[in-house]
Amino acid sequence: MTIAILLSLLSACGLFKASQVSPTPAPSPDAKYADQDLDSLLAYGDELAKFNQNERWGECKHVQELGQAAQNLGWVLHLMLIQAIIEDCGDRRETLSKLKFIMSLAKDVHLRQYIALHEQILLLLEDKIEVTKLLNRQLKISKQEIQKSHHEIKTRKNEINTRENEIKTRKNEMKTHDNERKALDNEMKRLQNKLDLLKSIEPNLGNSPQETNENPIK
């Protein structure tokens, strides 16, 4: 009887202590970014593949913010994956330099192969971005040169139009002057005719009609 009572008390005491133990806290949603094993990385890659473009951009921003708080091997691996599917997500060259260091830390052969594969993917993407930037710069320069040429052509056309207008104005002035000269010549001819007429009748102005009749010829 005594033994049964003791066992009952010990059991009750155990239950009491168990009730006093704090429950295990739920893991942080960001705990997965510390995972470094290949299975976790493959699962994360599958998760990214199901995201739409906006969700991928949000994930990129979130991973970058985590890196500002604490950079570790798991974070670099997750950043490596998100940078492989988004063109502009942080500095790939910095990630590539970290990957070279990670390669020396990774013990699992398959993980090293996985990292090496994504290293090549990031290199190709970085080369593609550099080529795109170069082409965009060249395109911008070409557009500027075309705009400059258009401006020069437009300026030249305006100069030609101005010159043509000046020539047209000058022609009109010359035509007006020519008309004025012709009008003056006609007036001079008219006056000359009057003068000739006056000269022709001037000798007869001092003679009377009778004298004219008596001496018709002098």
Question: Does 205 map to a domain?
Answer: no
* Average pLDDT score over residue span 77-105: 88
Contact residues for 66 (Cβ-Cβ < 8 A; gap 6+): 30, 33, 75
**Per-residue model confidence as pLDDT tens digits over 97-119:** 888 888 888 888 898 899 899 88
Same domain, 131 and 171: no
The predicted pLDDT at position 16 comes to 42
Q: Tell me the average pLDDT across 165-171.
A: 89
- Average of per-residue pLDDT across 136-151: 88
Considering the domain architecture, whether residues 167 and 118 belong to the same structural domain is answered as no
User: Model-level pTM?
Assistant: 0.55
pLDDT in tens, 183-218: 888 888 888 888 888 777 877 766 555 554 555 544
Do residues 53 and 104 share a domain?
yes
Closest CA to 69 of 95, 105, 26, 33: 33
60 in any annotated domain: yes
- Among residues 123, 140, 157, the one where a domain terminates is 140
37 and 97 co-located in one domain = yes
Segment among 31-40, 67-76, 115-124, 175-184 with least mean pLDDT = 67-76
Quick check: 114 and 81 in contact, CB under 8 A? no
Domain span at residue 85? 32-140
Is there a domain that residue 14 lies in?
no
Checking if the pLDDT of 10 tops 60, the result is no
Q: How far apart are CA 198 and CA 95, in angstroms?
A: 115
Cα atoms in the Cβ-side hemisphere of radius 13 Å centred on 100: 6
Q: In which residue are the tokens 């002057």 written? A: 177
Structural domains in the chain (count): 2
Same-domain check for residues 36 and 112: yes
**Structure-token pair, residue 162:** 């101005």
In-domain check, residue 203: no
Tell me, yes or no, whether 9 lies in a domain. Answer: no
pLDDT tens, residue by residue, 50-59: 999 999 999 9
What is the chain's alpha carbon radius of gyration, rounded to the nearest angstrom? 54
Same domain, 122 and 62: yes
User: 5 in a domain, yes or no?
Assistant: no
What letter would DSSP give residue 107? -
Q: Is residue 83 part of a domain?
A: yes
In this structure, which amino acid lies at residue 145?
Answer: E
43/122 same-domain check: yes
Same domain, 59 and 123: yes
Torsion angle, CA of 126/130/131/132, rounded to 10 degrees? 100
